[in-house]
Structure 1
Amino acid sequence: MDNDKMNSLYQKFIVEGHSISLKECVGGYPNANDCSWYHGNWMLLRYLGVVSNPYWHEKFYRNALENVCDIKKDNLLVAGTADFSMPLLCSEIGVNNVSVCDICKTPLKICSRVSEYLNLNWNTFAHDICSEISMKYDVVINDAFLSRFKNKEIPLKGIANTLNSGGYYVTTLKMGKLNRGGEVEDSVKKHFIEKVERRYFEHSNSLPEVSIQDIANEYVKKMSSFPVSGEMEVYQLFETAGLKVLLIERDIVEGEYEPSEYFRIIAQK
């Protein structure tokens, strides 16, 4: 989907997504007690291009699904999503039936609305990927998901248990220093907030009227991230979970606060 169509889609659902979050957010992966600050403003920040999203790694995901995983099986699960970006990318690549799970109902309801609007077949259901599930999938996919967890062994074990034997896990994982929320340099924080404000006012005619500085400031204050230290840690984590790393590559993308290095990973059970 080209940028104009993508922007139009976000413009249509930003306000509705925020309203959904006020009713449905009771805690999730980013924050166990309240995730409305996260899900309620994510699509706006995503529209402004200042938060992580799978389209930063589009070529990787396309190659993974087209050339490594057999997408004709149509047995794919998006395990954890902030909005509709990953399910949409999977549909664009050619997966006809996409399942989406998340611990929070807000992104699920957003995905259901977008799926209905685009006449796509997304099956959504609430589930904590860290816990047992009876359904099994040939492909589990998400983007920068593991960075939400300090102890990555727990979600990785859950993902491995969700896969059929021989199934694939496709994901990205940030490398760098941990941030328990607000642990960024003042200069970095200032630059991020100014970037968010500038981009918002450049597009204000197409966006809801909000206190954008407060939104940006709250995101920096509350958003935690637990990257890995290096490639060796990735191999150890995945092998402990019973997943064999088939491909691992590194690249630098725009990042949220500043350019960031990510691992792109394809693993198999």
Structure 2
Amino acid sequence: MQNDFLSESAPLAYRESQTLCNGCGWYHGAWQYLRMLGIVSPPYLQNEFYRNAIAPLAVSGDFRRVCISGATDYAMADTILDLWPLPEGAPAITVVDHCPTPLFLNRWYADRVGVKIDTACRSMLDYRNDDYFDLICTHSFFGFFAPVQRGGLIWNWSRLLRPGGRVVTSNRIRPTAGDRVGFSGQQADDFVARVVSAGQELEGIDLSREELKVLAQAYADNYFSYPVTSAEDLRDMFGASGFALERFEITGRESPVSGPPSTQGKSMRVDIVAVKP
């Protein structure tokens, strides 16, 4: 699947974010255009990890209730469904996010591919569900939470899973970063120039050069994350919530010149499959 719908959904996300978002339209309205231009990091870039982690669970038939914990758009749902043994039966997916825009996009995507996706507009820190999930998937999610919040996030994942359920996630590790990272002035200028240049080279994009410049500038001015500086901290947090780590693998290495958050590039990552006993 991967990107098949972007020419349709990017303008849709841009438009809908202007009314659905509450202060985050600069992010949700831009993300799919940035995906089209190959600038940001969707879960497809870790496709080998997700395939190895999720495909066996899908085939087993024991992991049908799936929660996507946080979503910028429908890419995680697309990744999961691409690994499921269709048409034998799609999993029951629930997408949880605090913003209506990615939830709207997931419902739109579900209509396009002929599956049902439920959505819940809640923070993952306090989301509750009376029925246990079999599998929770998320991508590069920890950066949206300050370090003091991450233990509570993982604890809530444990609460939402049945015994034997799993969390599957991959996250960048930035060992030398500060408590909060955004774009420096030079990085912002380089980012805007890169977006405008890529947009001029891509046929079929519906934004003008000036519109792309404004979109990229707003993204660079507003985006920040709380970097994960230690994979071992995550290991300890999963352990404190009772998880057993089926896979905990650090891949890649951090570049000496670390780029801005959310953009593509070589980086150190930790791939995690955690099991609730």
Is 1:93 matched with 2:83? yes
User: Per-residue deviation at 1:103?
Assistant: 1.3
Relative to 1, partners in 2 of residues 1:21 and 1:239: Cα closer, same or farther, differing over 3 Å? same
User: Per-residue deviation at 1:178?
Assistant: 4.1
User: Per-residue deviation at 1:83?
Assistant: 0.2
Partner of 2:131: 135
User: Per-residue deviation at 1:99?
Assistant: 2.0
Aligned residues of 1:197 and 1:212 also touching (Cα < 8 A): yes
- Which has the higher mean CA deviation after the structures are superposed, 220-229 or 245-254? 245-254
Unpaired stretches in structure 2, ≥5 consecutive residues: 254-258
Is 1:246 matched with 2:241? no
Partner of 1:76: 66
Aligned residues of 2:172 and 2:270 also touching (Cα < 8 A): yes
Relative to 1, partners in 2 of residues 1:228 and 1:69: Cα closer, same or farther, differing over 3 Å? farther
Relative to 1, partners in 2 of residues 1:205 and 1:66: Cα closer, same or farther, differing over 3 Å? closer
Partner of 2:226: 226
Aligned residues of 1:181 and 1:222 also touching (Cα < 8 A): no
Partner of 2:17: 21
User: Per-residue deviation at 1:52?
Assistant: 2.0
Relative to 1, partners in 2 of residues 1:222 and 1:148: Cα closer, same or farther, differing over 3 Å? same
1:235 counterpart letter in structure 2: R
Partner of 1:29: none
* TM-score, length of structure 1 as denominator length: 0.87
Partner of 1:31: none
Matches of 1:225 and 1:200, distance apart in 2? 25
Aligned residues of 2:158 and 2:243 also touching (Cα < 8 A): yes
Query: Which of residues 145, 151, 154 in structure 2 aligns to 1:153?
Result: 151
Relative to 1, partners in 2 of residues 1:71 and 1:22: Cα closer, same or farther, differing over 3 Å? farther
User: Per-residue deviation at 1:257?
Assistant: 6.2
1:268 counterpart letter in structure 2: V
1:205 counterpart letter in structure 2: G
Matches of 2:7 and 2:245, distance apart in 1? 38
Aligned residues of 1:191 and 1:257 also touching (Cα < 8 A): no
Deviations 1:108-131 (A, max 9, x none): 111111110121232223232111
User: Per-residue deviation at 1:194?
Assistant: 2.2
1:59 counterpart letter in structure 2: E
1:159 counterpart letter in structure 2: W
Query: Which of residues 160, 163, 179 in structure 1 aligns to 2:161?
Result: 163
> SS of the counterpart of 1:172?
strand
Is 1:37 matched with 2:32? no
> SS of the counterpart of 1:206?
coil
- Which has the higher mean CA deviation after the structures are superposed, 43-52 or 256-265? 256-265
2:138 counterpart letter in structure 1: N
Unpaired stretches in structure 1, ≥5 consecutive residues: 27-33
User: Per-residue deviation at 1:94?
Assistant: 0.3
Relative to 1, partners in 2 of residues 1:61 and 1:219: Cα closer, same or farther, differing over 3 Å? same
> SS of the counterpart of 1:229?
coil
Partner of 2:256: none
Partner of 2:272: 265
Deviations 1:20-75 (A, max 9, x none): 1122112xxxxxxx211111111111211212211010010011112357662311
2:16 counterpart letter in structure 1: I
1:144 counterpart letter in structure 2: S
Aligned residues of 1:178 and 1:225 also touching (Cα < 8 A): no
User: Per-residue deviation at 1:181?
Assistant: 5.3
Deviations 1:157-201 (A, max 9, x none): 22121111221000111111246353x444433332222221111
Aligned residues of 1:132 and 1:161 also touching (Cα < 8 A): no
> SS of the counterpart of 1:140?
strand
1:163 counterpart letter in structure 2: L
